[in-house]
């Protein structure tokens, strides 16, 4: 090849790869036959390996390689232990919890004080000092806010830890001590305290079943029979629904077995926020079955609005057949039977007894209610019919049920007085309409501890007479009841 054609190629090769250096330190201009191509490939491979091993590369540039980048994890841990001056031990679960409770204020990292850009005139010394002080004040305030929030979160976590620990201890106490010895321990002082603190959800259904009892001697087989009968009714309604509805309207309270179709209307309104009892929900058929079976078991009572909430709470804590047994026995209690059978005379007696303890515990509010002609039936009926499961948050309602199973109907009216006492200052400033609206729609965020603290202050004793004694005395003279309580008077 002519020399003038080789010159450009040699020049290009020099640009791609500089002359090789011999061990002696002299540069070699040997480019004959492009013998340096092998060295060129080797340099590219070495450069690639260097980039892979370089741990200093970052997103926006390269930083010097840190000395401890390649250190073994054990070596790093040992250095940390030497620095801290104590050996490392495997952390216990409690230590892990405590570690999670520690927070550091982080919002201050967003506060950065910078000088003016170089293209603008510098700040005067006084202005720079003023800005520096303002900046430091902002940092202090941000740190305070962050520390306050961290303390709040820490208190929440500590409270949650205490709650979980107390629930765990309560479960052990119920399973190991109370339930195996129910007959001898259920009314002891220790168990009464456990009841007041709230029964753990894992044992709540079992405790409720034992406390409610089964005086009616209902069996699982009887539930199956009643359910089969209810399904026959449903099939008959599906074929002649319009006629059945017209006939239902004329049925008396003694023959409400034909009102099975009316249950569907109330199920859709049962705990709508949970979305588990409505059509298509996991407990819709279960709730429908229990209510239908009960209307066949007690046709003299039939279905009454509010029963669906009681059955739903039992379903959440018991199996289907056991929930039906508890439901039937619970509604057979004197107070529930009086309300669900709409026994006006007996309901008036309960209202009159309630007003006796109302005046005894809350005289100022009682006088205010009397002045505004606010009778107990306006707010008590809904509370008693649903056992507070519709009016209060579900977890709080379950705690009310816990003590109700222990103390009976008296605690339902004691709870009502506790709620009135909790909002006494607010209610005394309201008129009739606002009081009725407030009590029929209580706040949704009622703290359980505040409610129970208020209930604890209520004394169910009037002139050395307890609830049962007052109720019995009032039942003897219905005329005095009508004079003392105008509720439901026609």
Q: Which domains does the chain have, with CATH numbers?
A: 213-239+251-332 (1.10.8.270), 333-483 (1.10.472.80)
List CB contacts of 412: < 8 A, sequence separation 6 or more. 335, 383, 384, 387, 388, 404
382-417 pLDDT, tens digit each: 999 999 999 999 999 999 999 999 999 999 999 999
Give the model confidence (pLDDT) of 336-378 as tens digits: 999 999 999 999 999 999 999 999 999 999 999 999 999 999 9
pLDDT of residue 30: 43
Specify the pLDDT at position 257: 45
Q: Give the pLDDT of residue 240.
A: 57
Comparing 54-68, 365-379, 471-485, the range with the smallest average pLDDT is: 54-68
Question: How far is the C-alpha of 294 from the C-alpha of 271, rounded, in Å?
Answer: 20
Per-residue pLDDT, 187? 86
Would the CA dihedral through 448, 449, 454, 455 be positive or negative?
Answer: positive
Residue range 70-91: average pLDDT? 53
pLDDT of residue 377: 94
Looking from the CA of 450 toward its CB, the CA atoms found within 13 Å total 9
Which residues, in sequence order, are CB contacts of 97 under 8 Å at separation 6+?
A: 157, 161
Q: Give the helix, strand, coil percentages of the chain, each rounded to 5.
A: 65, 0, 30
**Choice between 111 and 95, residue whose per-residue pLDDT is larger:** 111
57 falls in which pLDDT band (50, 70, 90)?
very low
**Cβ(391)–Cβ(306) below 8 Å:** no
User: Is pLDDT of 65 > 60?
Assistant: no
Q: What is the pLDDT of residues 179-194, one digit of tens each?
A: 999 999 988 999 999 9
Percent of the chain with pLDDT over 70: 69
Which position has the higher pLDDT, 19 or 200?
Answer: 200
Residue 463: pLDDT band (50, 70, 90) is confident
The predicted pLDDT at position 75 comes to 58
What Cα–Cα distance (Å) separates residue 306 from each residue in 108, 245, 385, 486? 55, 20, 6, 24
How far apart are alpha carbons 482 and 352 in whole angstroms? 8
pLDDT at 439 over 60: yes
What is the per-residue DSSP string for 372-437? TT--THHHHHHHHHHTTTTTS-HHHHHHHHHHHHHHTHHHHHHHHHHHHHHTHHHHTT--HHHHHH
For the cut 50, the answer to whether the pLDDT of residue 116 exceeds it is yes
Higher pLDDT, 51 or 148: 148
CB 218 within 8 A of CB 285: no
């Amino acid at each position: 090849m002519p020399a003038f054609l080789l010159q450009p190629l040699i020049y290009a090769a020099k640009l791609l790869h500089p002359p090789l250096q011999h061990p002696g330190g002299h540069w070699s201009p040997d480019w004959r036959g492009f013998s340096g191509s092998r060295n060129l490939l080797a340099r590219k491979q070495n450069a690639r390996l260097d980039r892979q091993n370089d741990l200093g590369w970052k997103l926006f540039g390269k930083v010097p390689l840190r000395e401890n980048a390649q250190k073994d994890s054990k070596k790093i841990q040992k250095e940390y232990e030497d620095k801290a001056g104590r050996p490392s031990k495997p952390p216990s679960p409690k230590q892990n919890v405590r570690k999670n409770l520690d927070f550091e204020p982080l919002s201050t990292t967003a506060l950065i004080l910078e000088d003016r850009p170089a293209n603008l005139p510098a700040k005067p010394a006084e202005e720079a000092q003023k800005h520096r002080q303002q900046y430091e004040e902002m940092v202090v305030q941000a740190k305070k806010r962050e520390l306050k929030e961290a303390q709040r979160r820490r208190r929440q976590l500590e409270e949650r830890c205490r709650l979980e620990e107390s629930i765990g201890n309560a479960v052990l106490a119920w399973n190991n001590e109370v339930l195996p010895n129910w007959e001898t321990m259920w009314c002891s002082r220790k168990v009464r305290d456990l009841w007041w603190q709230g029964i753990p959800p894992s044992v709540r259904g079992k405790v409720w079943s034992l406390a409610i009892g089964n005086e009616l001697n209902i069996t699982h087989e009887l539930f199956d029979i009643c359910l089969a009968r209810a399904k026959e009714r449903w099939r008959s309604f599906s074929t002649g629904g319009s006629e059945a509805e017209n006939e239902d309207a004329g049925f008396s309270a003694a023959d409400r077995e034909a009102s099975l179709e009316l249950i569907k209307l109330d199920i859709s309104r049962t705990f709508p926020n949970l979305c588990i009892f409505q059509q298509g929900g996991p407990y819709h058929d279960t709730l429908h079955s229990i209510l239908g079976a009960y209307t066949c078991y007690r046709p003299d009572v039939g279905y009454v609005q509010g029963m669906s909430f009681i059955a739903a709470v039992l379903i959440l804590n018991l199996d289907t057949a056991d929930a039906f047994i508890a439901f039937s026995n619970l509604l057979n209690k004197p107070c529930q039977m009086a309300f669900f059978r709409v026994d006006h005379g007996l309901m008036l007696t309960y209202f009159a007894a309630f007003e006796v303890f109302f005046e005894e515990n809350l005289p100022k509010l009682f006088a205010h209610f009397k002045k505004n002609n606010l009778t107990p039936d306006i707010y008590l009926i809904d509370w008693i019919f649903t056992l507070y499961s519709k009016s209060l948050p579900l977890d709080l309602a379950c705690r009310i049920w816990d003590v109700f199973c222990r103390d009976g109907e008296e605690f339902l009216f004691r709870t009502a007085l506790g709620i009135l006492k909790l909002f006494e200052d607010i209610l005394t400033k309201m008129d009739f309409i606002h009081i009725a609206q407030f009590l029929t729609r209580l706040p949704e965020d009622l703290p359980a501890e505040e409610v129970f603290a208020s209930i604890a202050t209520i004394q169910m004793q009037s002139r050395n007479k307890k609830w049962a004694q007052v109720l019995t005395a009032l039942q003897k003279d219905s005329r005095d009841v009508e004079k003392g309580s105008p509720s439901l008077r026609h």
